[in-house]
Structure 1
Amino acid sequence: MSYTAAVDHLYALGQELAPATPSTPRRKFDLAHMRVLAAALGDPQMTFPSILIAGTNGKGSTAATLASILTAAGYRTGLYTSPHLIRVNERIQIDGHQIPDEDFARLYFQVDEAARHLVEAGDLPYPPSFFEVLTAVGFLYFAGENATHAEKTRVDIAILEVGLGGRLDATNIVEPLLSILTDIALDHQDYLGNTIAEITREKAGILRPNGTLITLPQHPDANQAIGEAAATLNLRAINAASYIPGQTPGVSRSVPGHQVGASGKQAATPLPANHYSITLDGEALEVNSPLSGHHQQRNIALAIAAAAELRHLEGYKLGQIAGESNQIGYKITNAHIEAGIRNTHWPGRLELFTFSDGPQLLLDVAHNPAGAWTLRAAIAQLPEAQPRTLVFSCLRDKDLNEMAQILFPLFDASSTDSKRSKDHIVFAPIDNPRAAHIDDLLAAAHALDIPAHAAPHLAAALAQARAVTPSNGLIIATGSVYLVGEICRLAGEL
C-alpha cells in the first residue's frame, strides 16, 4: 500500500478532539486499549529506553532540544511529537530525520491490520484512534522496524512528547527513565479538568513510583499538586531552575539573533536570541539557541537538567531484552549539550521568514491564553514604531475571548497610540473541524472596539497582510498550530 493511501486512511480515523456528533460520540481515553494494541505488535515500546515530557506549553521545544543534545552526543535518538505543521512524518523522527514515506506506509498498515484483527476478535471494542495508531507506528519505528537499514537498528533512547494530559495518553505505556513536566496552564478543560490543580494531576500521571521528575517552579496550584504526587510516589524531584540564567551582569546577555528565512538568507530576527552562559558541574556552558523568546530559557533549562541527569545515571536494564543493560548512563559532555542546543530545529515557534521584498513574517503557534501571554511578552521586545499586522485564527474549543484580550490590543489601529496607526488584523478560516467561525473571530474584535478584517481563506489572508503591511513592517501569524502549519507551506512557496 502507498504512503498516500496510508495518510488518507489515517485521517479517515478522525481526530480525538473532534467535536462529538450523534453518529460519532466523543472518544473515551483508555490506556488498556493502547496496551492491547502494543502487545499485539510485540510491545515495541519496551525495547528502548525513553523519556516522557508532559505539560501545557513548552513540551515540544523541550523535547526537540533534548533530542538534539542526545544526537550531538552520538546516540541514535528518537523524537515523537505532536501535532505536525505540514506533514504527519514530522511527528516521528530519528536524529532529526523524519520517518521515510515507505517506512511510514508499511508500519501504518502493520498497525492497522493488527488493530483490525483485535477488533474482530473482540479484544478491542473499536479501532484505535488517530493518535494511538501514530504512537504505535512511532514505537515500531524506534524499535528498529525500518526498511532503510539492512538489519534492525533500534534507537538508543526516545524522547516522547505527551499528546494530551498524561495519565491516559497513549505514550504513557512506556517505563520512562525520566519524566519531565513543563509549564502547566488552563487548556483542554473539557478533558483534563477546570482548575490548574486538576490539570496538573492529570499530567503528573506520567510520573512513576521511585522514579525521577524534572520540572521548574510554576503556578502555586501546580507546584502543590506536583509536590503531592512526588510525595506519594517517593520519587526524586529535580529543580531545573539553576540552569536558567541569572540577571547579574556577565551571566546572561541578549544578542541579535539570526534565523534562516524563506529566502534562504540569514537575517536578523527582531527578537533577542537566547545566548548566555551558565555553569554545569563546575564548568562553563555556553547556551546559544536558535529558539527565540525569553520563555525558551525555561525549556532549555529542562533539557539541560535532563541531559545532566542522564549522564549521572547509575544504569538501567531494558525489561524486554534479556541481559541487556546500560551500566554507566549516557556519555554527554558539556560540549555535546552546547552543540545540541545550537543545532535544535523546532519550527513555528517565533520563527522568522524573510522575503526578497515586502515585510517579514513571524510565526508562532500560541494556541491558548498562556501561549498568547508568552507571545505578547515577545512582541513587547519589538521596535515600538514598527508597523505590524496580525493574521489570526484559532480553534473554537480555545478561549477566544481571553486570547483576543491579550493580543488584539497590540494591533489596534484605532487606539490613541499613533505608533499603531498602520497596524491591521486579518482573520482567516482554517481547515479543521474544531476551527472557530470567522463570525466569532470578528465578534471578539468588535467586542473590544478593535478594527479587523476577514479573508475567505489563508492564502488570501497572507496576501492581504503582505499588501497592507509596509515593507519595513512585520506580519505576525498565530492562534493555532494548524494556521501556522498552513502558512509555513504558503510562505515556502512565495
Structure 2
Amino acid sequence: MSPKKSKKDDGAGQGDGEFAAEATRVHDELLARVGESAPEPRLSATRRAVELLGDPQRAYPVIHITGTNGKTSTSRMIESVLRAHGLRTGLMTSPHLVRLNERIVVDGEPISDERLVANWDDIQPYLTMVDTELEAAGEPTLTFFEALTALAFACFADAPADVVVLEVGMGGEWDSTNVADGQVAVFTPIALDHQARLGSTVEAIARTKAGIVKPAASVVSAAQLPEALAELQRAAELTESSLAVEGVAFGVESTTVAVGGQVVTIRGVAGRYEDLLLPLFGDHQAQNAAVAVAAVESFLGSGSQALDHDVLAEGLAAATSPGRLQIVANEPTILVDAAHNPHGARALAKAIDDYFQFGRVVAVLSVLADKDAAGIVRALSGTVDQFVVTQSGSDRSVDADELAAVAVGVVGAARVVVETDLVAALRTARDLADEAEGDEPGGVVVTGSITLVGDVLALSQAEGGLS
C-alpha cells in the first residue's frame, strides 16, 4: 500500500518521535469524522473503500472477535499465542486508552507513527473518493471507525501480516470490520450494552453479533445465556459452521492465584494444557484464556490438533491487557479497570475479592452518559467501601454531581464523595484508602469508563507518574 519501509522501521513500535506531529494530524483528521458513539449501521461504505484499496482485508486470514465484555483481553491473548507460534500478527482493538496507535498492532507492538502516517496518506485519496460518492447519494461520509478500519486493513497488508486478529467496534453484523471474512468467529460473553444501537434484549444483541459468522467458519464461544447461545447456534447452522462452546467443548479446569496473576489448567478443543502462567487477574481472564486457546486450536489445526504446550505457555505468559485490572501505583495500590457495564463490574468486584487482600477498597468512578450507572454501582457495592465520583475528559462523561446522586441512591450518602477534578479525586481516594484499619492496607480501583482509565494511564505515564 505504501513505499518500501526503511530499515529503521519494521511497522511496529513507537518510532523516534520524528513523525509524532504527523501522527497527531492523522488522529485529528479521523476525529473530524462522525465519532464512534454514532456508528452508521451499514457495510456498503467500508466495502466500497476497501474495494478501491484492492481489498487489503483479503491479504491475510482473519480471526474475528465480538461479544460484550472481554473482547480486547481475549484478542490480545490470541495474538500473543499466535506470535509465539512464529506468525507475524496484526491486531486491531478498540477503543484506545492513550494513543491511537494502540488500536493497530503489528507483531505485538503499536504501529509506529511513521507507518501510521504513510498508510493514512496512501489511502486518503481513496477515502475522499468514497466520501464524494456518499455525499452524491445523500448519505453520510465515512465515519471515524469506517475510515480507521480501512486504515488498519491497509497497515496489516503493508506489514505484511500472516494473520490478523480483528475486534469489532460495536455489534457485528453491520460493524465495518465485518467486510472481512473470519475463518474463526469468536464470541466472548454477551450481555446488555449499547442497547440503543444493538437492541434492548440479550437475544437481539446476540443476533446482531452473530452476523460475523461466515460460511464454513469455526465458531468458538464463551459460555452464554441460553437466549444468546440459541442465536449463535442458529448462525452456525445457517452457515454450516462448526460451534465449540465453553463448558461443553472446552473450558477452565482449574485456576490458582499466583504472584502477578494466576496458574490455570485448560481443556481445549484438541488438547489439555496444565499449569499455564497467566499474568492477569480474575477468573474471567482464565475463561478468556480458555476461549483464546480454543480459537487458536481452531485456526491452526481446525480444532483437531493440540498445541505445543511450551509454545502455548510462552504465548500466554507474554499476554498483556492494559487497562484491565492493571496496577499503576503502589502505597496504596491503585488499579485501573475498564469495566463500563454491570456485567464487567461484577467480574471486577469478584476479581478484587478473590485476588487482592485490601482492608478497604475505594473506587474512583466516572461513567459515560449511555451506560447503566446505577447497575455499575450496584455491582461494585458489595466490594467497594467508598466511591469517589469524578468526571473523565470525555464530553460524554456524566456530570459528577449527577453521577453522585445516582450512587447515593444505591449506596447512601455516607459512602459517596464528589471530586470533579481527576487529580483531586485520586488524591482523595488514596487518603481514604490509607484509613484502612487492621493488618491489610487499603486499595484504590479506577473504573466505570474506558475514557477514565485512559486519563489515569496518561497521568501514570507522564513525568512523575501518580506519585
TM-score, normalisation: structure 1: 0.83
Query: What residue number does 2:360 align with?
Result: 387
2: CA distance, partners of 1:408 / 1:478: 13
Q: CA deviation at 1:82?
A: 0.3
2: CA distance, partners of 1:403 / 1:33: 35
* SS of aligned partner of 1:349: coil
Say whether the 8 Å CA contact 2:120–2:151 is kept in structure 1. Answer: yes
1: CA distance, partners of 2:387 / 2:272: 48
Say whether the 8 Å CA contact 1:81–1:91 is kept in structure 2. Answer: yes
2: CA distance, partners of 1:395 / 1:438: 11
Q: CA deviation at 1:139?
A: 0.4
Q: CA deviation at 1:4?
A: 1.9
Output one character per residue of 1:33-53: Cα deviation in whole Å (capped at 9) or x when no partner: 110111111111011111100
Say whether the 8 Å CA contact 1:165–1:192 is kept in structure 2. Answer: yes
Q: 1:478 aligns with which of 447, 454, 466?
A: 447
Q: CA deviation at 1:335?
A: 1.8
Aligned pairs, how many? Answer: 432
Query: What residue number does 1:287 align with?
Result: 276
Mapping of residues 86-485 of structure 1, within 5 Å = 86-121=98-133, 125-144=139-158, 153-241=159-247, 242-246=249-253, 252-258=254-260, 273-279=261-267, 281=270, 284-313=273-302, 333-355=308-330, 358-381=331-354, 386-412=359-385, 424-448=386-410, 449-450=412-413, 451-470=415-434, 472-485=441-454
Q: AA paired with 1:30?
A: R
Deviates most, 200-209 or 278-287: 278-287
Cα 1:159/1:330, change in 2 over 3 Å: farther
Q: CA deviation at 1:425?
A: 1.8
Q: CA deviation at 1:57?
A: 0.5
Say whether the 8 Å CA contact 2:339–2:449 is kept in structure 1. Answer: yes
Q: CA deviation at 1:353?
A: 2.5
Q: CA deviation at 1:408?
A: 3.5
Q: CA deviation at 1:393?
A: 0.4
1: CA distance, partners of 2:173 / 2:273: 37
Q: CA deviation at 1:283?
A: 5.6
* SS of aligned partner of 1:287: strand
Cα 1:195/1:274, change in 2 over 3 Å: same
Q: AA paired with 2:453?
A: V
Say whether the 8 Å CA contact 1:285–1:338 is kept in structure 2. Answer: no
Output one character per residue of 1:438-486: Cα deviation in whole Å (capped at 9) or x when no partner: 1221111221314312223212211222233218210111001110111
Q: AA paired with 2:403?
A: L
Output one character per residue of 1:58-99: Cα deviation in whole Å (capped at 9) or x when no partner: 111111000000101110010100011110100000111111
Deviates most, 62-71 or 443-452: 443-452
Query: What residue number does 1:322 align with?
Result: none
Say whether the 8 Å CA contact 1:73–1:332 is kept in structure 2. Answer: no
2: CA distance, partners of 1:100 / 1:392: 32
Q: AA paired with 2:89?
A: T
Say whether the 8 Å CA contact 1:112–1:133 is kept in structure 2. Answer: no
TM-score, normalisation: structure 2: 0.87
